[in-house]
Amino acid sequence: MRGPHNIWRLIRTGATFQRTGAMGAALDAMKAPRRVRAAARIMGLPFAWLGYRGDPALPPITRAITALGPAYIKFGQIMSTRPDVVGDEMAQQLRMLQDRLPPFPTAVARQVIQADLGAPVEVLFSAFSEPVAAASIAQVHEAVRADTGARVAVKVLRPGIETAFRRDIDAFHLAAGLIERLSPASRRLRPRDVVGHFQSVVLGELDLRLEAASASEFAENTREDAGLSVPLPHWPLSARRVMTSDWAEGIPMADVAAIRAAGHDTHALAERLIQLFLNHALRDGFFHADMHHGNLRISPSGDIIALDFGIMGEIDEFTRRIYSEILYGFIQRDYRRVARVHFEAGYVPADRDMAQFARALRAVGEPIFDADASRISMANLLAHLFEVTERFGMPTRTELILLQRTMVVVEGVARTLDPQINMWAAARPVVERYIRDNLGPPAALRDGLRVLQALGRHGPQLPAIVDRQVERLANPAPALVVIDPGGPRRMLWAAALLASGAVLGALLA
C-alpha cells in the first residue's frame, strides 16, 4: 500500500548505503565531484545506524543491494554489465547478483513444488539436486524426470518474493512522485510512468506460467536462427511458482577465459549476440529483455544459450520501423534523417528547430565512429544524450524503456567478450536488411493490401457512421453540452474511411 510509511523505506535505503560503505564506493565509481562525495558522507553519517547491516563478507555495494531486496538487486544486475559506467572492479562485484545469491533451503523448494504440482518431488523426479543457481526472483535445481528420464532444470520462486517486490515498488512510486513535485523539470522524464512500467514487468515475472509461455513463443520465433539455443518448457511440470524446462549445459557467458580455452571465437560471439538481439527486436517485435551474463551460456557446439524468460520486451510494428530508421540514420551518419524521423514520430515537440536538433545528434554520434571502442565512455555518451533530450523537451518513451535498457545490457555483455567490439558495425547488416524488407516497395504493397483488408472489414459500418455524424451536426445538443473525448477521433476515423472508400471506388471503377 502506497503512503507516507514508504518514506521510512527510502530513508533506510540511503542509510543502508551509508552504513555498508556503498555510498562512498558508488560515488567514487561514478567519479562524482569531490564536494558531492564529501557532502554525502557528512550528511549520511548521523543516519547510518538506521540502515541494514547486510553481509559483512560481501563487498560494500553488493552488501547494500542484497540487504535492500529484490528490486534493488535487479538494478544491480543491469549495472553489472556496464564496467565502462561503474568501473571494472564494481562490475565484478555486482556480477554475483546475476546467479550467485544465497539460496533458500531445498526443503522449502520441495514444499512449493508439491503444493503447486500436486505430488511429492520423489514421485515427479527420480533425482533432484541442491540449488545450482540462485538469483533475485528464484533458484534453479537440476533434476531428472521420473516418467521420461529427461534431464531438466526446475525453477522455483523464492517464498514471499511478491510481497517483497510490492514493498520496494511502492517506495519507488513514492520517490517518483516526490521527484516530480520537487523538480518540475523532471516531469518530461515521466518517472512515475517509468516506475509503473517497471512494476508491470516485474510482477509479470512472478508468474512462471507466463515465463513458460514466453519461452515457448521465443523458441518458435527463433527456430531458424543459427547459433542460438532455447530450452523448451515442460508444461506438465510447470505451474505458477514452478517451471520445468530442458537442461542446458554450457559455459557461463561471464567466464571469458573458459570460453576462449574451449576454442570459441569471442569476437564472433559478441557480434552474433548483438545481431540476434536486433533481429528479435526488429524482425519479431518480441525479444529477451534480461540478457545479462547470468542468463547466457555458450554450448559445447558454440551456440548462445538463452535462459530465464521472465522479462520479455514487445514493440509494435510502427515503433520498430521508427527505431530502425533512427538506427540506420546513425549508421549512415545522416543526422538530418534521424532528426526528421524523431519529429515525424512525435518524439520531439513540433515547435523545436529540426536543424538544431540534427546538429545536436551529430555531436552525439560523430565521436562514436572511427574511434577505438575501448576509448569510448558510455557514461559520457549517455550523459550527452540526456542533455540533448532535456534541451529539446523530449519526453521519456515508456514503450521503449525495455528496448533501450536491453540494448545497453547487450552491448555491455558483448564488450566483456570483445572490448573492441563496434556495436554500430555489428548492427549494420541487421538494420539494413530490415530497412530493405520493411520500408521498400514490397513493404508498401503489403501495407496497401492490409488497408484494403481493413476496409473490407469496416466497410459495412460506413453508412451508419456517416449518418450518426451528419445527425449530430444537424441537431446540436442545446444548452448543456457534454464533450465526448472520443468524438473527434471517431470523426477523423470516419473521414479517413470515406476518403479510402472513395479511392478504392475509383480504383475498382
Q: Are 254 and 95 in contact (CB under 8 A)?
A: yes
Q: What is the largest CA-CA distance in the chain?
A: 83
| Most confident of the following: 2-16, 346-360, 433-447 | 346-360
Q: Which residue has the cell 559506467?
A: 85
Residue 451: partners with Cβ closer than 8 Å, 6 or more residues away: 500
290 is a catalytic site residue: yes
The residue that leads in pLDDT, 62 or 451, is 62
Distance CA 91, CA 413 (A): 11
Whether 358 shows a pLDDT value over 80: the answer reads: yes
Distance CA 396, CA 347 (A): 9
The residue that leads in pLDDT, 507 or 79, is 79
The confidence band for 443, taking pLDDT boundaries of 50, 70 and 90, is: low
Instruction: Out of 84, 99, 290, 303, pick the active-site residue.
Output: 290
Q: Which of 104-108, 177-181, 253-257, 311-315 has the lowest mean pLDDT?
A: 177-181
Whether 508 shows a pLDDT value over 70: the answer reads: no
Question: What percent of the chain has a predicted confidence (pLDDT) above 90?
Answer: 29
- On average, the pLDDT of the chain sits at 79
pLDDT value of residue 509: 33
Give the CA-trace dihedral at 360, 364, 367, 372, to 10 degrees. Answer: -170
Mean of pLDDT values over 477-498: 42
- Which grid cell is 127? 533425482
The confidence band for 160, taking pLDDT boundaries of 50, 70 and 90, is: confident
Distance CA 64, CA 73 (A): 10
Whether 431 shows a pLDDT value over 60: the answer reads: yes
- Helix, strand, or coil (residue 30): coil
- Helix, strand, or coil (residue 328): helix
The confidence band for 186, taking pLDDT boundaries of 50, 70 and 90, is: low
Whether 92 shows a pLDDT value over 80: the answer reads: no
Domain ranges in the chain are 5-97, 162-203, 248-439, 453-508
pLDDT value of residue 382: 54
Distance CA 318, CA 296 (A): 30
Mean of pLDDT values over 61-70: 84
The CA-CA-CA angle for residues 215, 217, 221, to 5°, reads 115
Mean of pLDDT values over 75-104: 70
Amino acid at residue number 358: A
- Record the pTM: 0.71
Question: What percent of the chain has a predicted confidence (pLDDT) above 70?
Answer: 73
Amino acid at residue number 10: L
Mean of pLDDT values over 81-91: 65
- Which grid cell is 443? 513493404
The residue that leads in pLDDT, 401 or 25, is 25
pLDDT value of residue 29: 65
367-426 tens-digit pLDDT: 766 666 555 555 455 556 656 766 787 776 656 667 777 887 888 889 899 988 877 788
Q: Which of 91-95, 107-111, 216-220, 221-225 has the lowest mean pLDDT?
A: 91-95
Ramachandran assignment for 299, one of left (phi > 0), alpha (psi -120 to 50 degrees), beta (any other): beta
